[in-house]
Amino acid sequence: MTLSYYLVLAAILFTIGAVGVLVRRNAIVVFMCIELMLNAVNLTLITFARSTGTVDGQIIALFVMVVAAAEVVVGLAIIMSIYRTRRSASIDDANLLKY
List residues near other proteins by CB under 8 A: 7, 14, 17-18, 21, 27, 30-31, 34, 37-38, 40-41, 44-45, 47-48, 51-54, 56-57, 60, 63-64, 67, 70-71, 74-75, 77-79, 81-82, 84-86, 91, 94, 96-99
Residue 75: CB atoms within 10 Å: 17
17 burial level (CB within 10 Å; 0-12, 13-18, 19+): buried
**Least CB distance to other proteins at residue 5 (A):** 14
- The answer to whether the CB of 41 falls within 8 A of the CB of 14 is yes
Residue among 5 and 78 whose Cβ is closer to other proteins: 78
